[in-house]
């Protein structure tokens, strides 16, 4: 059975609605006994925040004038009744919450920002879209989570599930995520930490900060710097123009930049380490005493003592085997110096 709460009707006949601000909801709808398994939310300009840790499932609606202007309740209600369709419904475990400008009103001064806070079961799936506000997601386990904003930030914490989040220009913050993770921004920075699984992070121009990640990790930016610390698994990290700093890396690494310096410190080797830069230098620090196949090139190469090495050592080229060969180490500094160290 479908349960529908039309806010156009509620606002006309309910006298207990409160003044709107970010601390007090304009309206609260209980989801008690609804057994929500999926949440579908669409709004224009407002934020969407969802938590799976709530004791009391509910939807809270927040309404403001554009530019965070606080308007009298009567004016808000008049604009809602005249220009907006605002509805919350539940059917067979699916929650639908939508806010739509029925007239596509282009008068910015008379537009409303309609936001939702959702308190859901931790196992629920989510599907969120907002044209400009931020999206926050926390404390979910299981299900799938798809969310998109045209310009706001994304913040995702404590989610163990399949995640696909996209923003056209805002920043992304991710903490304590697991399983299958894809986060993309067209221009903001990305910070990801304390997470594991299959992780894909992409920005078209911002920086990347990676910390305490484990699994199969891919990270790329078209122009910002990349910093990684305490990464375990298989990491692929590339930038088209910034510097790269990787510290305490375990496993396999492939990283490169078209225009900056690359600094890498590996603490455990697996099958390969592949480092390159088109315009800067490389500092590569590897565990001592490991068997390796070295393939290094640069304008000038400086190395610590190579013990039990067989192969070629030139000013700009080192190629051969350490201790009979093992992990493939390839480094290319096309127009800079390469410094190989051991610890």
pLDDT at res. 242: 93
Q: Which of 158, 187, 191, 157 is nearest to 172 (CA)?
A: 191
Q: How far apart are the first and last CA of the chain?
A: 67
**What tokens were used for 9?**
């009707």
Q: pLDDT in tens for each of the 343 residues of the chain?
A: 455 544 433 333 333 344 455 678 989 999 999 999 999 999 988 999 999 998 899 999 999 887 656 677 888 888 888 889 999 999 999 999 999 988 775 666 678 889 999 999 999 999 999 988 999 999 999 999 999 999 899 999 999 999 999 999 899 999 999 999 999 999 899 999 999 999 999 999 899 999 999 999 999 999 899 999 999 999 999 999 899 999 999 999 999 999 899 999 999 999 999 999 999 999 999 999 999 999 999 999 999 999 999 999 999 999 999 999 999 999 999 989 999 999 9
Separation between Cα atoms, residue 54 and residue 70, nearest integer Å:
28
Cα angle: 293, vertex 265, 159; to 5 degrees: 115
Separation between Cα atoms, residue 198 and residue 69, nearest integer Å:
42
Separation between Cα atoms, residue 175 and residue 156, nearest integer Å:
6
Residues 6+ positions from 269 with CB-CB distance below 8 Å: 286, 287, 290, 292, 326, 327
pLDDT at res. 79: 87
The CB density around residue 79, as the number of other CB atoms within 10 Å, is: 18
Separation between Cα atoms, residue 123 and residue 208, nearest integer Å:
30
Backbone conformation region of residue 248, classed left if phi is above 0, alpha if psi is from -120 to 50, else beta: left
Q: Which of 51, 63, 65 is nearest to 8 (CA)?
A: 63
pLDDT at res. 164: 99
Residue with tokens 């122009």: 223
Separation between Cα atoms, residue 306 and residue 322, nearest integer Å:
7
pLDDT at res. 187: 84
Q: Which of 199, 246, 245, 207 is nearest to 223 (CA)?
A: 207
As a dihedral over the C-alpha atoms of residue 141, residue 146, residue 149, residue 152, rounded to 10 degrees, the angle is: 20
Task: Specify the pTM.
Answer: 0.92
Separation between Cα atoms, residue 321 and residue 163, nearest integer Å:
42
Residue with tokens 């969310």: 147
pLDDT at res. 73: 80
**What tokens were used for 13?**
């006949």
**What tokens were used for 203?**
């920005």
Is there a contact between 291 and 322 (Cβ–Cβ < 8 Å)? yes
Q: Quote the distance between the C-alpha of residue 255 and its chain's center.
A: 19
pLDDT at res. 16: 36
Beta bridge partners of 118: 50, 59
pLDDT at res. 147: 98
Separation between Cα atoms, residue 341 and residue 120, nearest integer Å:
52
pLDDT at res. 14: 35
Is there a contact between 296 and 282 (Cβ–Cβ < 8 Å)? no
Burial class (CB in 10 A: 0-12, 13-18, 19+), 39: buried
Q: Which of 292, 206, 222 is nearest to 258 (CA)?
A: 222
Residue with tokens 């990676």: 210
């Amino acid at each position: 059975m479908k349960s529908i709460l039309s806010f156009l009707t509620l606002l006309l006949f309910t006298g207990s609605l409160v003044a709107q601000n970010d601390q007090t909801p304009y309206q609260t709808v209980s989801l008690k006994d609804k057994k929500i398994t999926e949440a579908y939310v669409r709004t224009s300009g407002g934020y969407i925040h969802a938590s799976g840790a709530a004791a009391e499932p509910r939807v809270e609606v927040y309404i403001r004038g554009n530019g965070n202007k606080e308007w009298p309740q009567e004016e808000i209600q008049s604009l809602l009744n005249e220009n907006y369709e605002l509805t919350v419904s539940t059917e067979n475990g699916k929650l639908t919450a939508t806010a739509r400008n029925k007239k596509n009103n282009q008068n910015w001064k008379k537009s409303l920002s309609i936001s939702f806070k959702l308190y859901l079961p931790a196992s629920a799936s989510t599907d969120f879209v907002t044209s400009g506000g931020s999206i926050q997601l926390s404390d979910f386990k299981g299900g799938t989570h798809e969310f998109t904003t045209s310009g706001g930030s994304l913040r995702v914490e404590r989610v163990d599930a399949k995640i696909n989040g996209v923003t056209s220009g805002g920043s992304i913050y991710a903490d304590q995520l697991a399983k299958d993770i894809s986060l993309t921004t067209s221009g903001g920075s990305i910070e990801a930490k304390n997470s594991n699984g299959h992780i894909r992070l992409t920005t078209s121009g911002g920086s990347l900060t990676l910390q305490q990640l484990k699994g199969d990790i891919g990270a790329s930016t078209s122009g910002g710097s990349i910093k990684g610390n305490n990464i375990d698994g298989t990491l692929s990290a590339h930038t088209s123009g910034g510097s790269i700093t990787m510290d305490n890396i375990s496993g396999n690494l492939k990283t490169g930049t078209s225009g900056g310096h690359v600094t890498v410190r590996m603490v455990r080797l697996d099958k390969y380490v592949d480092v390159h830069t088109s315009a800067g230098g490389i500092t590569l620090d590897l565990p001592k005493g490991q068997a390796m196949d070295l393939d290094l090139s640069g304008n000038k190469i400086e190395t610590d003592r190579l013990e039990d090495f067989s192969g070629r050592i030139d000013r700009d080229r080192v190629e051969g085997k350490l201790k009979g060969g093992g992990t493939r180490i390839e480094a290319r500094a096309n127009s800079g110096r390469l410094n190989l160290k051991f610890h």
